[in-house]
Amino acid sequence: MEVKIGVQNAAREVVLESAETAQQVAEAVSAALSSGTGLIDLVDEKGRRVLVPVDKVAYVEIGEPEARRVGFGAM
């Protein structure tokens, strides 16, 4: 599952591949936004934790990664 988090006043977005489902990621983000914890806490496929301050989040995009195309038909 690919997750993109836009951060205010940052030129690049935070992109990570998560083993969680879209529903689980959405629940984690909404729980962090509704509670006063101050951080969105996600874990990527390699086990690294990504912490993003809630007050700096511009947007969160949750989507399936594109399958890589191989061969001459990929053009």
Digit-coded pLDDT (tens) for 13-42: 999 998 888 899 999 999 998 987 789 999
**pTM, whole model, 2 decimals?**
0.77
pLDDT at position 26: 92
Domain boundaries, the chain: 2-67
- State the CB neighbour count (10 A cutoff) for residue 13: 14
Give me the mean pLDDT over the 46-73 stretch.
83
Q: How does DSSP assign 7-53, residue by residue?
A: ETT-SS-EEEE-SS-HHHHHHHHHHHHHSS--EEEEE-TTS-EEEEE
Amino acid at the residue 43: V
